[in-house]
Structure 1
């Protein structure tokens, strides 16, 4: 069984049939090349959306940069204010601690002098009754003195705490009222 020969189109016919298609495809490009205004118009129409997108991206980028600069300026201002407040708070605390230490040292000096005066008077007592009276009087005076000193130190400590916190409180109030 022999295979029958296959039918194929003549090669010359295939070339002639394809040739009109190639010429038809090239013709619009040739027409456009002959008219530069049409080419420019075609590119202008095609590039209009691209230009619009580029303009929108540029505007969004500029706005983002402006917003970032404004946010940075606000953060910088808040940080500078916070730093100033902390410095003022530390200065007030330092000054207050020095005042507390000075007041405490004065109390120690006063109490030490009173103790030496009591010891001197006690050595000078002639009778036990006189010694007991001196002891009672010294205890009463010491209690009154220590009570007064404690009140003074407590009031001073409260003032130091208030003065130390005031700059921070003002800064926080200012920060929250501004935003």
Structure 2
């Protein structure tokens, strides 16, 4: 017998026999990995788009909050600057008035009384002006930071929820 006379038959059925002669079938369902990965990628892309839109919305809201805060700061700074200019004008007028009265004095005693009165008035005016400017500076700070505080709290509450 040579190799040319041997016939080999094959069965395409994936069956194996165990020691008892029982036939076992090993059928694996065909998994389509390409479809599985495509579905996962599409879900990831959808989630990424959703997150990007959320970040864009949050960024725009924060920009609006900062724009409002800057606007409030500019308004407060203008008010503060206008008040400083008005105080300077009043102080200059008071000083010129003092020099005018000083020029009209005839005795050393009048000069001392006038200088003492002017010093007291200037000190009292400076105290009032400093309190007023301090209150105005505090108002500017509060008016500037309040929109930031409320806006960031609103954004954080929305983001957390």
Question: Aligned in 2, Cα 1:111/1:19: closer, same or farther, shift over 3 Å?
Answer: farther
Question: Aligned in 2, Cα 1:138/1:19: closer, same or farther, shift over 3 Å?
Answer: farther
Q: Give the aligned partner of residue 79 of structure 1.
A: 59
Question: How far does residue 19 in structure 1 lie from its aligned partner after superposition?
Answer: 5.0
- Give the alignment partner of residue 120 of structure 2, picking from 140, 149, 162: 140
Structure whose alpha-carbon radius of gyration is higher: 1
Cα distance between partner residues in 2 of 1:74 and 1:19:
76
Q: Tell whether 2:31 aligns with 1:50.
A: yes
Listed as ranges, the matches of 1:122-133 within 5 Å are: 122-133=102-113
Structure 1, gaps ≥5 residues long: 1-12, 30-44
Q: Tell whether 2:3 aligns with 1:24.
A: no
Question: Aligned in 2, Cα 1:19/1:169: closer, same or farther, shift over 3 Å?
Answer: farther
Structure 2, gaps ≥5 residues long: 13-26
Q: Cα RMSD over matched residues?
A: 2.0
Question: How far does residue 75 in structure 1 lie from its aligned partner after superposition?
Answer: 0.5
Question: How far does residue 49 in structure 1 lie from its aligned partner after superposition?
Answer: 2.7
TM-score, structure 2 as length reference: 0.82
Q: Give the aligned partner of residue 75 of structure 2.
A: 95
Question: Aligned in 2, Cα 1:28/1:142: closer, same or farther, shift over 3 Å?
Answer: same
Cα distance between partner residues in 1 of 2:143 and 2:5:
98
More helix by share: 1
Cα distance between partner residues in 2 of 1:111 and 1:142:
8
Question: How far does residue 162 in structure 1 lie from its aligned partner after superposition?
Answer: 0.8
Question: How far does residue 111 in structure 1 lie from its aligned partner after superposition?
Answer: 0.4
- Give the alignment partner of residue 109 of structure 1, picking from 89, 93, 106: 89
Cα distance between partner residues in 1 of 2:146 and 2:120:
39
Q: Give the aligned partner of residue 24 of structure 2.
A: none
Q: Which ranges of 4 or more aligned residues in structure 1 deviate by more than 3 Å?
A: none
